[in-house]
Amino acid sequence: MLEKCLQRERHNVHELDFSSIKDNNNVIFDFSVKGMIAGYTTKFTKSFVENYLSKLNDVAIVNENKVIEDPFENEAVKQAPLVRRAERPADKMPNLDRIDQENFPLDLKYIYPDSAGAGVDVFVVDTGIFLDHEEFQGRQGKTVVEKTFCGNDLADDDGHGTNVASLVGGKTLGVASNANIIGVKITGKVCPLSSQNIINGITYVMQQKANDPGRKIVLNLSATSIDSAVGEAASKAVEAGIHFVVGAGNRNLDACGFFPGQVETVVTVSATKITAPPNQQDWITDFSNWGKCVTLFAPGDNVPIAGIGSPSEITSGSGTSLSAPHVSGAIALMLANSDLTPEQSKEELVRIATKDKIQGLYYRPTANLLLRVPSP
């Protein structure tokens, strides 16, 4: 109907080379996945939307595609000393040290199942991945950037996707060091993030699941939106069997005000910090979103992460974007040894979580659950 009415060509975004499109306003972008979701992006007049399109019985949502300003909400990243697992200094790796044990003091170890996420595909829908970084060399799992929605640019010119990927499965910094890490680039320095690109990224992963229904797939998304269509896409992704993890956001607001975090079936992650010794405690960070839509917490303050300055650069960062990949890695650890559904993996995260240890939730009522990885 749109092709006929608007006299425009329709292109499947999952197969499209976006650098070949000269005029975005004269094209219908089709992000449909057969049997899972049907959706399109193009330019409409306001009157066409109000008087016709929104009144069609088989149209569920018509939303404006908007650019998301500051998509990662001023997350702090700073230089930090180089850290490697062989050295394992406790003051440099407390995030991994914390998630394998219930109580303090930290034992200077990160203990996890031997499979380390092998055979599980974690899609990092973000800014791409700096593939030359040492964290991604010599791993059992592959690391690739498979798709970009930013022209033909696969490189991570921002660093955020590399940060996240290193926590999912980096050789020494990652939770699940044998998992496959697959980058899907939806934003970058010269590629503003929009609702359209978030949905394109989500539905691209859905298409991979449709192509191979037996694949064990985790989708990690760090960006938040107020667009309900993003929430609809996330909901459909979980229905398709994709384990969906998202950062709660960094505004110290109710996470239920944002998509896809408010979608009940996704895993929404807030951030904790560890206070200084000798009396170490877990606290909610000052910036973290909170509320009943949050599934659990994970470390998100001064976390060691791979940078893009050089193949050996290690930085540290803070934000719920860095809490979420801890959980994506934990789900990969589960799936390597099981065939859990998204509903079951979420239930298992809650079941094994460390309970009632997080301080600072006085006026921010949130489930007091801290990520704990499965035992070997």
pLDDT tens digits for range 204-219: 999 999 999 999 999 9
Catalytic residue among 318, 321, 323, 328: 321
Catalytic residue among 14, 30, 156, 160: 160
- 90-132 residue pLDDT tens: 357 899 999 999 999 998 889 999 999 999 999 999 999 999 9
Question: Does residue 126 carry a catalytic annotation?
Answer: yes
- Domain contains 62: no
Domain co-membership, 23 together with 129: no
Question: Does residue 321 carry a catalytic annotation?
Answer: yes
Domain co-membership, 161 together with 41: no
Domain co-membership, 39 together with 98: no
Domain co-membership, 89 together with 37: no
- Percent of the chain topping pLDDT 90: 82
- Domain contains 70: no
- Domain contains 71: no
- Domain contains 63: no
Domain co-membership, 132 together with 267: yes
Domain co-membership, 246 together with 356: yes
- 238-266 residue pLDDT tens: 999 999 999 999 999 999 999 999 999 99
Domain co-membership, 31 together with 167: no
Domain co-membership, 277 together with 356: yes
**Domains held by the chain: number:** 2
| Distance separating alpha carbons of residues 270 and 272, to the nearest angstrom | 7
- Domain contains 61: no
pLDDT given at position 79 = 41
Question: Does residue 356 carry a catalytic annotation?
Answer: no
Domain co-membership, 165 together with 20: no
Catalytic residue among 126, 153, 156, 301: 126
- Domain contains 253: yes
Domain co-membership, 230 together with 337: yes
* Exposed e or buried b per residue across 177-188, where buried means at least 16 C-beta atoms within 10 angstroms of its C-beta: bbbbbbbbbbbb
Domain co-membership, 313 together with 197: yes
| Angle, in degrees to the nearest 10, between helices 320-335 and 342-352 | 110
- Domain contains 375: no
Residues of the chain with pLDDT under 70: 70-71, 73-91
CATH number at residue 236: 3.40.50.200
**Domain span holding position 98:** 76-370
- What phi-psi label fits residue 108: left (phi over 0), alpha (psi between -120 and 50 degrees) or beta? left
Domain co-membership, 5 together with 151: no
